[in-house]
Structure 1
Amino acid sequence: MFHKEGHKIIVITLLIVVGGYLLTDSFIEITWLKTIIMLALLVFLILILQFFRNPKRHTQLNDGQVISPVDGKVVVIEEVFEKEYFKEKRLQVSVFMSPINVHVTRYPIGGNVVFSKYHPGKYLVAWHPKASEENERTTVVVENKTYGKVLHRQIAGALAKRIVNYAKVGDNAVQGGESGFIKFGSRVDLYLPLDTKIKVALNQKVKGGESIIAEINE
């Protein structure tokens, strides 16, 4: 299954690959060169198909837990001052996505969308310290009665040139449901209450919609 955000790109890629194959077969007579070009076209197609794949995820709904919004690797776990919405200290957990990861963004908790805002910006590499403040990004805050408010921020990277955000204020967010999509490499930051119990470690690989990032510290 492929994500709807990739349908147009997949069709264009297929046309390019088929056209490239026909031109190569018709005008290039050197066997080894023809083979290399055709293999390159095939690899290009596979990469595009892989990037826009949208596998089903089995989310265990739990209002007391925060699940990973994306696939990737945990690159930040630290206490920071969140400037945009909370304007107070929060625990930040950041997940970096490489171009080969699934890039669907999912709601980390269920509840009501109370804030959603898009910010145009730069395209610094996603792990740059200032990426969360200067890059193109969207900020979404979801609230439920059990966990309170959780902010997740999609951040474009050096390759990502478009962030898609489906969240609108007033929406009913379903934990693990699609919140958006980021095209070609990026990261997502989570901002959690200070008394949250973190369930992941630095450099741990996580799966969007399934891996538990944090839970209420009882």
Structure 2
Amino acid sequence: MSSFTHSLKLVLAPPHPAGRPFLIVSGVVAVLGLVLGLALPSTTAWVVAVLAFVFFLFCLYFFRDPERLPSLLPGIVVAPADGKVVLVGQVAPPAELGLGIEPRWRIAIFLSVLDVHVNRMPVAAEVTRIAYHKGQFLNASVDKASDLNERNGLALRLADGRTMAVVQIAGLIARRILCHAKEGAFFTIGERFGIIRFGSRTDLYLPHGVEPLVRVGQTMIGGETVLARL
């Protein structure tokens, strides 16, 4: 597949269900503005129609949900989201997840409004705990966003008993974290578990003894880019 064809398939990917309300409302407003603009005619109606249509196209792009094919290699950890790595370091996972206070490697991925915002499971694992923490809406790319921003964390248990975590973090613009995972559910690697609307960050806490294979500045493809080996 050529790079152009791949890029076209990415842009034209069907929208995630979370985007349907925005698409329906903006689409209806655009049509009503067009009808009123033709019937009256009204400059205001035309302006509203154009703005609503532009927002409709933006939402169609923002909520795109392309298929991803995780590597079949055993013992790998893949990116839980698209975006750019902004932090790599050893810190303790959020206290509410109950994974202890011992530091472990964390990889923080920042998602701009141009990135795919669907979150995917980094490994095949059982969700043992889901903890929501109400917080602020600082720029998600800064380090303190992990502690201060609104977040939703998932504690994961691998088949061999080791633990890790993935945390959805709201950002400066993002105000809505969606997660359809349930405690006790088992997910396969690369499987969708949620989405964050309009810019955000996703943090991954690796199992103890596992080191990251990526560095700050690298671009991630959710569900495909290998972050570590178990």
TM-score in same-fold range (> 0.5):
yes
Task: Summarize deviations over 1:170-196 as a string: whole Å, max 9, x none.
Answer: 101111111111111100001113532
The aligned amino acid for 1:16 is: V
Q: Which consecutive residues of structure 2, in runs of 5 or more, have no partner in the other structure?
A: 1-13
Identity of aligned residues (%): 34
Q: Which consecutive residues of structure 1, in runs of 5 or more, have no partner in the other structure?
A: none
Q: In the alignment, is residue 53 of structure 1 matched against residue 67 of structure 2? A: no
Mapped to 1, the partners of 2:124 and 2:66 lie a distance apart of 20
What is residue 137 of structure 1 aligned with on the other side? 151
Higher strand share: 1
Question: Aligned Cα RMSD in Å?
Answer: 2.2
The aligned amino acid for 1:52 is: F
Q: Of 71, 78, 82, which aligns to 1:71?
A: 82
Contact kept, 8 Å, 1:65 with 1:147, in 2: the verdict is no
Contact kept, 8 Å, 2:29 with 2:49, in 1: the verdict is no
1:148 CA drift (Å)? 2.0
Q: Which moved more, 1:169-178 or 1:76-85?
A: 76-85
Q: Of 31, 49, 53, which aligns to 1:18?
A: 31
What is residue 167 of structure 2 aligned with on the other side? 153
What is residue 116 of structure 2 aligned with on the other side? 102
Task: Summarize deviations over 1:100-125 as a string: whole Å, max 9, x none.
Answer: 21111111111211111112221111
Q: In the alignment, is residue 8 of structure 1 matched against residue 21 of structure 2? A: yes
Contact kept, 8 Å, 1:176 with 1:209, in 2: the verdict is yes
The aligned amino acid for 1:9 is: F
Q: How many residues align?
A: 213
Mapped to 2, the partners of 1:101 and 1:23 lie a distance apart of 35
- Do the aligned partners of residues 130 and 197 (structure 1) sit closer, same or farther apart at CA in structure 2, a change above 3 Å counting? closer
Task: Summarize deviations over 1:113-160 as a string: whole Å, max 9, x none.
Answer: 111111222111112322112211111021113582120000001111
Contact kept, 8 Å, 1:116 with 1:168, in 2: the verdict is yes
- Do the aligned partners of residues 125 and 91 (structure 1) sit closer, same or farther apart at CA in structure 2, a change above 3 Å counting? same
Mapped to 1, the partners of 2:43 and 2:17 lie a distance apart of 39
The aligned amino acid for 1:43 is: V
Mapped to 2, the partners of 1:40 and 1:6 lie a distance apart of 18
TM superposition score normalised by structure 1:
0.88
Query: Aligned to 2:103, what secondary structure does the other structure show?
Result: strand
Q: Of 170, 174, 184, which aligns to 1:170?
A: 184
- Do the aligned partners of residues 141 and 183 (structure 1) sit closer, same or farther apart at CA in structure 2, a change above 3 Å counting? same
Task: Summarize deviations over 1:75-98 as a string: whole Å, max 9, x none.
Answer: 111111334132211111010001
